[in-house]
Structure 1
Amino acid sequence: MSSHSHVSENASPEITEGDEKERNDSVTTAVEWVNESLNTMLRDLKPTDQCEIDKMLGEYFRKKVEEKEIQKEEEEEAAPLSCAPSAPSAPSGKKKAAKPGKKTSSTERTLPPAEPIEPVLCGSLAIGGTSLAVAKAGATINDIPLYLHIALLKYNQDSPKEMTLPRPMITLLNCEKFSPAKLKLVKEVMLIPPAQLSLRQGIERVLDIQKEVMRLLEPAGKVPSPQLADSKKGKAHNTGKKAPPPALKRVSHLGCLITGWDNLEQPLLLMQTACNNIGLELGTDMCLAINCAAHELMDYVKGKYEILTGTFKSPDEMVDMYVELINKFPSLIALVDPLRKEDRQQWNNICCALGSKCYLIAEDAATNISKIKIDQNMNVPLCSGVVLKYINQTKVSDLIEFTGLLDGQRHITILGSPDGESSDDSLVDLAVGLGARFIKLGGLSRGERVTKYNRLLAIEEELAKNRTLRSEANFEFPDFAEETQPGKEASDIIPPPE
């Protein structure tokens, strides 16, 4: 089961040590739950009764949350009275108050504050891990692959005659965000093989492009490659001190090269050059996607996104910037987290402007699947689809129910690999069984990622052998025209419960 922790490669030793302790405590508690109370509670039940067992797991978790809340209240009551009057610190998500006499724009005044981070209960990994273990046991008892068992659970035991495979969103570059004057907006540059290719052909093509990109990034005699030093800034950096090569010769935890740029277009132009060099055309032979991770870039004092060091843009200016980018690079078919989930109006605007040209995908907004499924007031913006991650107390039944809701609203489902990933390849079976449109696994390096790509290829071979592999249609973008007509309220992706 994947850890909930966010992996930060440039974190201070204190933060890294704290995260490690938190993970260890969570795993230790989860193992205690599994070996003791869950072991007793689930004994003699049939693993094929996934829905019933998941209900029991959900009730067990709810009681654990209540126990934690009671314990917290008791600790607060027992705390010394002298601690009570101390002023609470301001939440990190809120803006600081402006100084007297300082003018503030209406954009800054009306900026929605960041929603508080949902607390993660220590030991919650046990719930998701147990639910997945039950699903695996059910598949074993029925003597069928896990992906088929998941599909039968989702479609009420109606055996699908044919199955489609999710298209991989393969990360090629992880852009550096911590060095001065380096690109901050793009967290990942991804490639998506077109539908006419098999998965094996698509991955082989991505490997060819990756090889060419590495060649372009390779410094020739410690001088950056001429293809990449054609911008004015690039030439300026070559004067005086020698500039470091664009490729930092480090592999990210995402399984790809870490690199940095001076503007948003450079990594996209690099992909274009690499494809042209090996006789491929972007948009036809390979498609682009970027993970913007905009929620990580907000400066709450200025009320703007810092897309580059010292370069700030308001939420409305971000929408204009993306419109310009998609018009210049039509091969860019997906933007992940182009805005914070709190900027609902801008999500509506960007869906209006670009919804018919590319997928606008929310990832940060769908972190807590259980919470979104229960609470209709969760702040999930209007979008083409969401990235779901199987972590913590998420249960298999939650994924089945939530993807059913997305299917009903004609939104696409993407299953994503969390940062604290393991080498278990069940995520691929879940994606295939649930009928996800895409799967986001990271790069083509590191064992915990490669094992999943290998599982995806194995399922493709199996379905092709059984003649149950259905070929995919070309990429179709959802139509937001009806939802954004004048006088109509733009609807959320999740309908309120009946």
Structure 2
Amino acid sequence: MQMGSETYHHLKGRLLLLRNMVHMGAMLVKMVALLQTFPGKFFLHIDISLFCVHLVILVLCICSFREGLDLVKEAISRTGYNEKIKIGIDVSATDFCIGTKYDLDYKSPNKSGQNFKSGEDMIELYKELCTVVDYPVVYIEDPFDKEDWEHVKYFSGLGICQVVGGDLLMSNPKRIEKAIQESACNALLLKVNQIGTVTEAIEVVKLAKDVHWGVVISHRCGETEDSFIADLSVGLSTGQIKAGAPCRGERLAKYNQLLRIEEELGDQAVYAGDDWRMS
């Protein structure tokens, strides 16, 4: 908990610094325009413009997912947890799948239409992220469209990371059974409100664990401060919980409950450690 919190706050501070520098750069650009009306403007213009150029370059450096991962990696390094923290990515590829292609620029207002990737291209991209030393990526959620069974099956078969089915499985027993038959992933993302009842949630967790899948208990967007999923995660020994960044009441409620559970269990509390996938 401490490692995650410290890393998050370092990353947050870094991003806020970058944002403030962007605002400062915009103000200085306006100053340059004003200074053009005064004597001696040439020297001031050169100095301030160079500063603005550096700011623009800095901002332009954060323009791809790799550079975003670099910021995360930097935060991990600066907090001293290089060997203790691994990276997980919720791709949600269904959101940017168009036909059989994946539009990596789907959120860009000025997209060129040139950054469409095939399923095979996405596999190569994920392989790079999971196998190069630079990024300790061990968890990828929904790497392909929820109906792209072919590519998720092939990627899972590589065995290079935990491939988690969220949109793919929708906590639905029938889709989970199909994924098991197809060997389409190796972990279940469980959202209790998708399946409907706690009894059914327990049943699908048993289904997943019977085939040695990992299980991740997940919160939902628009959560309340109810902390039940923390108890559920411990009770089902999932070893993994997805409850958001350590900020805001609805998220901290889950983490605080985990701390209370640990305190209550005392010496009986067991940390999964390296066995977090199969606790």
- Range of TM-score over shorter length: 0.7 to 0.9
Query: Structure 2 counterpart of 1:469, which letter?
Result: A
Matched, 1:315 2:119: yes
Matched, 1:265 2:66: yes
Contact 2:97/2:103 (<8 A) preserved: yes
What does residue 17 of structure 2 align with?
219
Contact 2:8/2:246 (<8 A) preserved: no
Contact 2:94/2:144 (<8 A) preserved: yes
Higher helix share: 2
Match of 2:103 among 277, 302, 306: 306
Cα RMSD (Å): 3.1
Give the C-alpha shift of residue 214 in structure 1: 2.6
Give the TM-score, by structure 2 length.
0.76
Query: Structure 1 counterpart of 2:68, which letter?
Result: P
What do the CA deviations read for 1:434-453 (whole angstroms, capped 9, x no partner)?
A: 12131100111121111111
Match of 2:274 among 470, 474, 482: 474
Matched, 1:275 2:72: no
Structure 2 runs not aligned, ≥5 long: 23-51, 106-110
What does residue 35 of structure 2 align with?
none
Query: Structure 1 counterpart of 2:271, which letter?
Result: S
What does residue 337 of structure 1 align with?
142
CA distance in 1 between partners of 2:178 and 2:12 (Å): 46
Q: How does 1:9-28 map to 2 (within 5 A)?
A: none
The SS at the match of 1:386 is strand
Q: How does 1:324-363 map to 2 (within 5 A)?
A: 324-328=128-132, 329-353=134-158, 355=159, 357-363=160-166
Q: How does 1:97-496 map to 2 (within 5 A)?
A: 203-219=1-17, 222-223=20-21, 239=53, 261-281=62-82, 284-300=83-99, 303-308=100-105, 309=111, 310=113, 311-328=115-132, 329-353=134-158, 355=159, 357-369=160-172, 372=175, 382-391=184-193, 394-464=196-266, 467-475=267-275
CA distance in 1 between partners of 2:272 and 2:19 (Å): 46
Contact 2:239/2:272 (<8 A) preserved: no
The SS at the match of 1:471 is coil
Count of aligned pairs: 241
Give the C-alpha shift of residue 206 in structure 1: 1.9
CA distance in 1 between partners of 2:7 and 2:69 (Å): 13
Give the C-alpha shift of residue 338 in structure 1: 0.8
Give the C-alpha shift of residue 365 in structure 1: 1.9
Give the C-alpha shift of residue 432 in structure 1: 1.2
The SS at the match of 2:68 is helix
Structure 1 runs not aligned, ≥5 long: 1-202, 225-237, 247-259, 479-498
Give the TM-score, by structure 1 length.
0.44
Percent identity between the aligned chains?
Answer: 24
Give the C-alpha shift of residue 348 in structure 1: 2.1
The 1:210/1:320 distance shift into structure 2, 3 A limit, reads same
Give the C-alpha shift of residue 273 in structure 1: 1.6
CA distance in 2 between partners of 1:426 and 1:476 (Å): 20
Structure number with greater Rg is: 1
Give the C-alpha shift of residue 463 in structure 1: 1.0
CA distance in 1 between partners of 2:129 and 2:179 (Å): 32
Give the C-alpha shift of residue 471 in structure 1: 3.5
What do the CA deviations read for 1:99-118 (whole angstroms, capped 9, x no partner)?
A: xxxxxxxxxxxxxxxxxxxx
CA distance in 2 between partners of 1:368 and 1:220 (Å): 39
The 1:419/1:313 distance shift into structure 2, 3 A limit, reads same
Higher relative contact order (CA closer than 8 Å, sequence separation 6+): 1
Query: Structure 1 counterpart of 2:15, which letter?
Result: L
The 1:460/1:239 distance shift into structure 2, 3 A limit, reads same
Give the C-alpha shift of residue 275 in structure 1: 2.6
What do the CA deviations read for 1:121-155 (whole angstroms, capped 9, x no partner)?
A: xxxxxxxxxxxxxxxxxxxxxxxxxxxxxxxxxxx
What does residue 36 of structure 2 align with?
none
The 1:296/1:462 distance shift into structure 2, 3 A limit, reads same
